[in-house]
Amino acid sequence: MSDAIVLRDVTAGYGTREVFAGLDLAVRAGELHGVIGPNGCGKTTLLRLVSGVLRPRAGIVALAGENVAASSSREIARRVAVVPQDTAPVFAMAALEVVLLGRTVRHPAFAFETDEDVSAARSALGEVGASHLEDREFTTLSGGERQRVILARALCQGGDVLLCDEPTAHLDLKHQAATFRLLRGLAALGRTVLVVTHDVQLAAQACDRLTILGPRGVVAAGDPGAVVTRENLAAAFGIETTVHRDAAGRPLVLRHLESSEGNP
Amino acid sequence: MTHRARPVTKARFVRVTAVSAVVFAASVAIALALGAERIDLAAVVSGGATEVERSIFHELRLPRVAAAALVGGALGVAGVAFQALLRNPLAEPYLLGLSGGGSFGTVLSIVVFGSATAGAWGRTAAAFAGCLLAIAFVYAVASRGGGLRPSTLLLAGVVANAFFLAGLAGAQFAASPTEAQSILRWVMGGLSAPRAGELWVLGAAVTGGTVVVMATAPQLNLLAFDEETARHLGVDVTRLRRTLFLATSLLTAACVAVSGPIGFVGLFVPHAVRMLVGPDHRVLVPASCLCGAAFLVLADALARTVFAPQELPVGIVTAVVGAPAFVAILARSRGFRETAA
Amino acid sequence: MHGPSSSISRCVAVAVLIAAAACGPSAPAKTADPKASRVVSLAPAFTETLIALGAADEIVGIGRFDPEVPGRTDLPRLGDAMSVNLESLTALAPSVVLVNSTMLEEKLAPVSGRLRVVFLPTDRLDEALYAVTEIARLVGRESRGEEIATTIRSAIDDARGRAAERRRRGERPLRVLVVVQRRPLYTAGAGSFVDDLLRAVGAVNVFGDVAKPWPEVGEESIVVRAPDVILDASVGDVDTDAGRAELARDWQRFPTVPAVKSGRVLVIREDSLFRAGPRIPEALAVLERLLFGEGSAPK
């Protein structure tokens, strides 16, 4: 299977701060790929690199074999959609209007919306099960509802790569499950989905493959059952865990509360 | 809160713009009919008016209504662009020291070159430099440490305003009584029938600035949503921001060079229009332009007529009309959010 | 924020321009005290009065825009119609401080217990006359003061006489617009010194019906009020070609106005029109010369 996203020997940072160096990562086309790691290890930075918002200081970021640095930001936006962690407009907007923003990447710099745009936005809302929210004002929506609307906006962009930043951060168990079900469905339809999260259990359960990121770069990458181990989690998060397996061989992670403190 | 989503199709753009144009045309008709002196408008149009009536209409009333329309339209658009740029509905060229910077620039050009020598272009260019200085300062202070914090932004605006007011007072102090007199317009703000040259400069700058802001309307939608979102959706934010710096400064400067600082138009008009047509800049920009023009044209008509033959400074009218309306809108609008970061 | 502060700055600015805009009721001067030997004058008209009274040596401080006192180039300038340096003023230990603006009188409140502050309005001709005699009394030069007042009175009477003569000859009274400032347009209304001067020479102030000394008026009203003569005292930069061209362009917007048609838009540079003091005869003469031509007024 070909790689949709490749980072090779990438160094990135902001100002004087270097977030990571010499990072390698590969995401296969059509898979739901999870990146897990502790706070501050550079998960969001990774997404910014793939979406071309941040240029690497060294190394190469490629989309389907093409160097991201060679493409314009509009070209990238047509191929890569991002669902950021927290986002809300300054001025009151209806959910459908928010979704329609995604269509701007498919138009010239100035354009009006066509009937086709509106039906695309509506079907994107339908795809994430949020058709009923169409006329609701965005800022009055719950966290889970916002998540869906932003996801619909990303779908509306029409690209084949979807990046999600902590999509379950503010959601309860039910909505966490629903969100990952949705992402799995999108991957099943052929989209490449890259999710960064610190929820090890959920990622291990839902993703096709995982990359574990630690404070000093990639700890392990591959099948969740293979990479989610006591040693890898200790290296990435600095805590003691016990990893069990369920009947299907998927990892179940149990944190040790006592030893997690004071153990770097 | 349901809010009925309103996609901006071409048909909707035409509809909104047409309605705004009708409002604008009506305001112009009213303003042309009203004046310190009664004239027979029908006779002026049909050519049967007296020489005095024709003179009042063509030399004074028409140019003044044109100036009010251009200044009002420009302030409306500048307010919209400024609010998107700073991602804050309270951002206004007058409130945040932009007009003050422009006035200061104009006054410096007058003190250095003399009012007539500087000329309409010179005054506009000097105002433009002052506006750019103000906007750069406010933006730099407000965006320190990443993100645009509304409180920091307003404080930066207050500082800029205070600084330029002090600058104006200083220029007035340093100026001879002769110069102090020519400076007055830029301390107080107000409209009068413009000289022909002024109208051309104003018209050119306002058209240019408005076209630029309108051309970036889809990007403004994204920037107003969220800066990171704008980047993810392919907007070159740095370039857009630079464009908006220039466009808002140009619009404000063109106004300030002719009328001095006039408050409330850039704050009140975008708010009112947003309540009516929604936040999408593709309709918000043209509607704010036309409604801003209509608002100032009517405010100026009041200023000209209420105490005729005496005139009221138009800034008093815009504040008296704008402030309560603004508070009312604020109270009704649940969409107003102070946090922009 | 915009409204009140701008109207205050408007007031303030106009006050500076004409350097004597008192807008309150006239208060009687504090009464009879020993002769003042150290005088601070904070109004150009009063400084001129003191010089004319021969009391130049008694002056210890003057205002920012006051004329130079002959032989006293080192006199400290303490402020203008809006503000005054109270510390310097106190340090001079004046026996009397003369002001003609209410704003300045208020600014002097902190020292008015210790210093004798005399407020004399000069908005009207009769107020100006009273101020001359009152200042003369304060510096103990009553007889010289009476001489000056008599000169002023007779100049006014003469001007009125000539005006009556012109009326008898059937001359239509000239309609005059006095422009204090062009943008915004400020003129002289009823109750202003200039309005009184115009009445004295038998001219009609076209904005004499506006009950405010220095009103801002609309440009359209000029067209309808159709002045025969426009006296443009707005200073701007009229010394440059560009300035003169701008001035001409400004008035070309009023082609139907008789003054513009007949080329009688006159730039006034004489400050006497705004000095309510011993130069009132000069002001009347200037007005008559401008309005009725050379020779109509005696030297």
Considering only the beta carbons, identify the residue of A51, A82, A92 that sits closest to B279. Answer: A92
Contact C240 B37 (CB under 8 A): no
Mean pLDDT of C122-133: 94
- Which chain B residues touch C16 with a CB distance below 8 Å? 177, 180
Nearest CA to CA, how far is C221 from chain B (Å)? Answer: 6
Residue B8 and residue B37 in contact, taking contact as beta carbons nearer than 8 Å: no
Residue C76 — φ and ψ, nearest 5°?
-70, 140
Considering only the beta carbons, identify the residue of A81, A110, A157 that sits closest to B218. Answer: A110
Considering only the beta carbons, identify the residue of A89, A105, A110 that sits closest to B225. Answer: A89
- Measured between CB atoms, does B178 come within 8 Å of chain A? no
Chains C+B touching (3+ CB pairs under 8 Å): yes
Percentage of residues in chain C having pLDDT higher than 90: 58
Nearest CA to CA, how far is C2 from chain B (Å)? Answer: 7
Contact C3 B316 (CB under 8 A): yes
Summarised one tens digit per residue, pLDDT across range B308-318 is 889 888 989 99
pLDDT at C151 > cutoff 90: yes
- Which chain B residues touch C80 with a CB distance below 8 Å? none
Contact C221 B192 (CB under 8 A): no
Residue B131 and residue B101 in contact, taking contact as beta carbons nearer than 8 Å: yes
Considering only the beta carbons, identify the residue of C17, C210, C221 that sits closest to B181. Answer: C17
Contact A135 B4 (CB under 8 A): yes
Question: Whole-angstrom Cα distance, residue C185 to residue B192?
Answer: 8
What's the pLDDT band for C35 if we cut at 50, 70, 90?
Answer: confident
End-to-end CA distance of chain B: 23
What's the pLDDT band for B183 if we cut at 50, 70, 90?
Answer: confident
Summarised one tens digit per residue, pLDDT across range A136-153 is 999 899 888 998 999 999
Mean pLDDT of B319-336: 69
In the numeric block, which tokens belong to residue A243?
A: 């990893």
- Measured between CB atoms, does B89 come within 8 Å of chain A? yes
Nearest CA to CA, how far is C225 from chain B (Å)? Answer: 10
Question: Whole-angstrom Cα distance, residue C41 to residue C59?
Answer: 7
pLDDT at A232 > cutoff 50: yes
Considering only the beta carbons, identify the residue of A114, A137, A157 that sits closest to B335. Answer: A137
Considering only the beta carbons, identify the residue of C7, C224, C244 that sits closest to B37. Answer: C224
Q: Note whether ipTM > 0.85 here.
A: yes
CA neighbor of B131 nearest in space, from B193, B75, B67: B75
Question: Whole-angstrom Cα distance, residue B268 to residue B286?
Answer: 15
Using CB atoms, which chains have 3+ pairs under 8 A with B? A, C
Considering only the beta carbons, identify the residue of A104, A110, A115 that sits closest to B233. Answer: A104
Of A153-157, B27-31, B51-55, B326-330, give the lowest mean pLDDT range. Answer: B326-330
Considering only the beta carbons, identify the residue of C219, C225, C247 that sits closest to B192. Answer: C219
Question: Whole-angstrom Cα distance, residue A87 to residue A77?
Answer: 17
Summarised one tens digit per residue, pLDDT across range C170-213 is 999 999 999 988 888 899 999 999 999 999 999 999 999 999 88
Contact C226 B52 (CB under 8 A): yes
Contact C236 B182 (CB under 8 A): yes
Give, in degrees to the nearest 5, the angle at Cα A203 between A198 and A209: 120
Nearest CA in chain A to B86: A90
Summarised one tens digit per residue, pLDDT across range C219-275 is 999 999 999 999 998 866 667 787 788 888 889 889 999 999 999 999 888 788 889
Interface residue of A90, A110, A116 to substitute, partner B, most B CBs within 10 Å: A90
Q: What was the pLDDT predicted at A222?
A: 93
- Measured between CB atoms, does B7 come within 8 Å of chain A? yes
Question: Whole-angstrom Cα distance, residue C16 to residue C12?
Answer: 6
Percentage of residues in chain B having pLDDT higher than 70: 92
Summarised one tens digit per residue, pLDDT across range B252-283 is 999 999 999 998 899 889 989 998 999 999 99
Going by the DSSP 8-state scheme, the letter that residue C58 receives in this structure is G
In the numeric block, which tokens belong to residue A233?
A: 């989690």
Question: Whole-angstrom Cα distance, residue C284 to residue C297?
Answer: 9
Contact B192 C255 (CB under 8 A): no
- Which chain B residues touch A157 with a CB distance below 8 Å? 233
Contact C184 B185 (CB under 8 A): yes
Higher pLDDT, A34 or C112: A34
- Give the helix/strand (H/E) hosting B150: helix B150-174
Of A2-16, B112-126, C85-99, C214-228, give the lowest mean pLDDT range. Answer: B112-126
pLDDT at C32 > cutoff 60: no
Interface residue of A17, A48, A91 to substitute, partner B, most B CBs within 10 Å: A91
Give the mean pLDDT of chain C.
84
**B vs C: CB pairs below 8 A:** 155
Locus of tokens 């300054």? A90
Question: Whole-angstrom Cα distance, residue B74 to residue B208?
Answer: 10
Question: Whole-angstrom Cα distance, residue B156 to residue A229?
Answer: 52
Predicted TM-score (pTM) of this structure: 0.85
Q: What was the pLDDT predicted at C15?
A: 43
What's the pLDDT band for B339 if we cut at 50, 70, 90?
Answer: very low
* C288 Cβ contact list (under 8 Å, min separation 6): C159, C162, C201, C296, C297
Of A195-204, A251-260, B128-137, give the lowest mean pLDDT range. Answer: A251-260
Contact B310 C7 (CB under 8 A): no
Q: Angle B62-86/B10-33 helices, nearest 10 degrees?
A: 140
- Which chain B residues touch A87 with a CB distance below 8 Å? 225-226, 228-229
Contact B263 C207 (CB under 8 A): no
